[in-house]
Amino acid sequence: MPFIKKHDQQPVKNDERTQERDCESLVLSLDNPDPVARRWAARDLVECPDASAKLVERLRVEQDMSVRAVILSSLTCLGDHTAVAGLVDCLRSEDAALRNESIEVMKQLPDEVAPIMRELLHDTNDDVRIFAVNILESLCHPDVESWLLEVIENDPQINVCAAALDLLLEVGSKAAEQPLKRLQLRFADEAYFQFAINLALRRIAED
């Protein structure tokens, strides 16, 4: 076994930095057993090269909620391709809390998420498609309605269509009228769809 030099990582007893803020030390501190050191590292690492990759790597294994919150905050600030790709990867996690946290971060990155939204809405995983619709709920982007209409026109999974329908109840315009009627025919035996679509159509007619 090759000799591996150990780096000095003293536990941090108070919520303050104990190491220099050079990038190498910050990367090492992401693995410090003390969560305070990991929080500082996750906060300060945004100024370093390849920060998103290092933060995403730590996010996948981080169990301390306060550290995870700082990592997600830093990824929001960075908002680059690597950060967004890492958040998308988290949508496939078995950790429900991590999935929900990633959705909330992606909602805050409309310009960065928009280029991959159609890809997410056509993902082979039904749950990922539902999460993508959930992201649209707060995504301030002009294509939100058109993306939702694509879902109700083309997605074969009833739960995905139901998620899109719920959001269309809030944002649907005249453009949604015919797609909603076609959805109503497609799921003619589903009582909720009939009720929700009639409600949406009445609201659209009143606008």
pLDDT digits (tens, 9 = 90+) for 59-101: 999 999 999 999 999 999 999 999 999 999 999 999 999 999 9
Is residue 4's pLDDT more than 90? Answer: no
Per the prediction, the chain carries an average pLDDT of: 90
pLDDT range class, residue 18, cuts 50, 70, 90: low
Domain boundaries along the sequence of the chain: 12-108, 113-207
pLDDT of residue 91: 96
Residues 12-108: name the CATH superfamily: Leucine-rich Repeat Variant (1.25.10.10)
Location of structure tokens 């999460």:
131
pLDDT range class, residue 21, cuts 50, 70, 90: confident
Q: Judge contact between 83 and 113, C-beta under 8 A.
A: no
Distance CA 140, CA 177 (A): 22
Task: State the average pLDDT over residues 140-150.
Answer: 93
Is residue 157's pLDDT more than 50? Answer: yes
pLDDT range class, residue 138, cuts 50, 70, 90: confident
Distance CA 88, CA 17 (A): 31
Distance CA 56, CA 79 (A): 12
pLDDT of residue 58: 97
Distance CA 62, CA 143 (A): 34
Is residue 45's pLDDT more than 80? Answer: yes
| CB hemisphere CA count around 83 (13 angstroms) | 22
pLDDT of residue 206: 87
Tokens representing residue 2 in the block: 């090759």
The torsion defined by the Cα of 33, 37, 41 and 44, in degrees rounded to 10, comes to 180
pLDDT of residue 16: 53
pLDDT of residue 19: 53
Is residue 140's pLDDT more than 50? Answer: yes
